Structure 1
Amino acid sequence: MMKERLQLTQIPREKTISKADFIKKYVQPQKPVVIEHLIEDWPAYNKWSLDYIKEVAGEKTVPLYDDRPITSEFKFNEPHLKMKMSEYIDLLKSKPTNYRIFLYHLLKEVPKLQEDFKFPDMGLRFLKQLPMLFFGGANSKVFMHYDIDYANILHFHFHGKKQCILYPPSESKFLYKVPHALISREDIDFTNPDFEKFPALKMAQGYITELNHGETLYMPEGYWHQMTYLTAGFSMSLRATSRNLTNLSKAVYNLGFMRYFDNTMRKWKGQGWIDHKNEQAIYRTHKKNNIKL
């Protein structure tokens, strides 16, 4: 008997694309795309590797996160471990590890890296703050989530391969979204989902791709994304403001109210609040989709 799988289609690919075609074919209809040769004129395309990052940033102490679920003990943005970048890269190169870097401004800490990229002229209103770099070891995963600001994102990958699973906002009703949060249930393995426990996932229609060194993934506003590092590597995202007024209002709500409300409830009720939200994710998803277990 064939094992059931998620409904995922390959993200379309373009070798190169003009600004006008990019806007017309992907930004306006809010469809993802991989652009294979967008950044070959960046110094980063030839320079950026794990060895290069070790050379220029090896002495920096970096925050590391693994795949343990959010609890009242470890908050979403609280690191689980810290080490020198040189030690971390040695770890990445030696064996698979769940430890990842995110929410760390390496380009601010190492200004030399700022010379290696530029904002592409693709018709997007980029936020001109310094982008963050994201690092992961082989087989490490980033849980399914969408971004708080509903940005249009250009996501550039370096060194190795990375699998990306995306879902448009229209599929949220199938993804076991946790209330008052930007994530789906963290115990869902989107590379091998448990359809008995999470049957609504079978109805969700999404996209999948593998990013190689130097390739660019465009993720439209509010798209869910789950990343798996197939090999050790790192990525960078440039963010552009939402073009949709409804999404802008959602971003304002998320930034101005939702995250503060959730933090307040977590401080008040502790782990009980987190457990309640996870239970509600299943209850609400099954109720919306008339699923009875």
Structure 2
Amino acid sequence: MKDSKMQLEQIEHVDAIEANHFKESYVKALIPLVVRNLSKDWPASKKWSLDYFAQEVGEVEVPLYNSEPAKGKESSRTTAARMLMKDYVTLLKKGPTDLRIFFFNILQKAPELMGDFKYPDLGIKFFKKLPVLFFGGAGSKVLLHYDMDFANNLHFNFVGEKEVFLFPHDQKAFLYHVPHSIVSMESIEFDNPDYDKFPALKYAKGFKVLLKPGDMLYIPSGYWHYIRYKTPSVSLTLRSFPSSSVKRLKFLKSILFTMHFDNIMRKLRGQNWIDYKNKIAVETAEKAMRGRYN
């Protein structure tokens, strides 16, 4: 089913899938998929709740992020606040909040949780040093971006609901990709886009899905993703690095050059650098639209 304006398709759902079929038809083909109840036999499916995290890892201090765009000479990865996990859970229960826990490394910060989940047999090799949790409050959002390591991500949702928008990597021109970064223009809300201001979005082809507890979303390598939390939500991501040497080189370029160059330019030029990059993003999108017209 297509969205009325953006060219978005609903992601296919299955109740189970065989490893070879998953690898050949989805991983190699770079097609997203939702598998229901893949984690139903994990202890996490019964134990993980907001109260469980408050009790088990409540004394762990966690960095919190919001969706406010970086301004001036601010780093693009600045934390908005820090608090104990138990206090963050209390905040989530109080009502909507824009504060999120991003990339909470279980192995480093809460190894006692490692026994609550398993690595599924889906024909892919996981990077087992980086199982990460994501928390978000009702109404919070994750700005559109792609992962610089180009990993294949298995995103397991355990608590709450959230809407996810996905776009193949080659749609970046229509998504107002900001140069020297892995993000789109931060003023765009993809669940409520302003087509008058950002008309190229109508040409971007992608997918959307509402994740519910028990759902596993496969996010293919290089895919752009935007997330809006409908309710307080907790998810786990397991990562599998691609075998492509081209993507590995892109990862190294991002780590060794792109991030450092962008941060240096932010410090040197401040808001002028951000405005310049956004200007280029708009010009690139307009050029992509003209290509469609022609």
Q: Normalised by the shorter chain, which TM-score bucket?
A: over 0.9
1:72 maps to 2:72:
yes
How far apart are the structure 2 equivalents of 1:67 and 1:97?
11
How far apart are the structure 2 equivalents of 1:271 and 1:132?
32
How far apart are the structure 2 equivalents of 1:74 and 1:51?
34
How far apart are the structure 1 equivalents of 2:271 and 2:47?
45
Change (3 A) 1:96 1:107: farther
How far apart are the structure 2 equivalents of 1:69 and 1:158?
28
| SS of corresponding position for 2:79 | coil
After the TM superposition, list the runs of 4 or more consecutive aligned residues in structure 1 that deviate by more than 4 angstroms. Answer: none
Preserved CA contact (<8 Å) 2:127 2:241: yes
Matches within 5 A, 1:160-199: 160-199=160-199
Preserved CA contact (<8 Å) 2:131 2:238: yes
The TM-score normalised by the length of structure 2 is: 0.94
Tell me the residue number matched to 2:205: 205
1:66 shift after superposition: 1.3
Deviation string for 1:169-225 (max 9, x for gaps)?
Answer: 121120000000000001001011011110000011110111111211001110000
Give the total of aligned pairs: 290
RMSD: 1.7
Tell me the residue number matched to 1:46: 46
Matches within 5 A, 1:111-122: 111-122=111-122
1:141 maps to 2:141:
yes
Preserved CA contact (<8 Å) 1:74 1:80: no
Preserved CA contact (<8 Å) 2:167 2:205: yes
Deviates more, 1:278-287 or 1:191-200: 278-287
List alignment gaps of at least 5 residues for structure 1: none
Deviation string for 1:93-112 (max 9, x for gaps)?
Answer: 12011111113334422221
Partner amino acid for 2:248? Answer: L
1:247 shift after superposition: 2.1
Deviates more, 1:38-47 or 1:135-144: 38-47
1:273 shift after superposition: 1.1
Deviates more, 1:149-158 or 1:259-268: 259-268
1:269 maps to 2:274:
no
1:96 maps to 2:96:
yes
How far apart are the structure 2 equivalents of 1:169 and 1:286?
18
Partner amino acid for 1:143? Answer: L
How far apart are the structure 2 equivalents of 1:73 and 1:235?
32
How far apart are the structure 2 equivalents of 1:87 and 1:229?
19
| SS of corresponding position for 1:218 | strand
1:145 shift after superposition: 0.4
Tell me the residue number matched to 1:250: 250
How far apart are the structure 1 equivalents of 2:85 and 2:125?
32
Preserved CA contact (<8 Å) 2:61 2:84: yes
Tell me the residue number matched to 1:238: 238
Preserved CA contact (<8 Å) 2:73 2:266: no
List alignment gaps of at least 5 residues for structure 2: none
Tell me the residue number matched to 1:58: 58
Preserved CA contact (<8 Å) 2:8 2:208: yes
How far apart are the structure 1 equivalents of 2:151 and 2:164?
17
1:249 shift after superposition: 2.3
How far apart are the structure 2 equivalents of 1:188 and 1:36?
30
Preserved CA contact (<8 Å) 1:131 1:238: yes
| SS of corresponding position for 1:103 | strand
Aligned-pair identity (%): 44
Preserved CA contact (<8 Å) 1:131 1:237: yes
